[in-house]
Structure 1
Amino acid sequence: MPNRDFHVVSSGVAGALFALKRAESQPDAHRLIEALGGIAGGAFGGRAPDLLDPPTSPNHRGSAHSVAAAAAVYSVSGSVLISWQEWLRSKADQLRHERELLPQDSLLRAVYAFAEFLCRLLSGIIAGLLAGYTTHLGFDALTPRSLSLV
Structure 2
Amino acid sequence: MEQVYSRQESTLPTSKPGRSSSARPMTMEVGDRRWKGNYSQLNVLETKADAWEKAEMEKVNKWYEKMKASILARENEKKLQAKVKMDRKKKELEQKIKRTQELYQVNIARIDHIAGGARAQVDEKRRNDELQIKRKARKIRASGKVPVTCFFFRMT
Greater strand content:
2
TM-score by length of 1: 0.26
TM-score by length of 2: 0.25
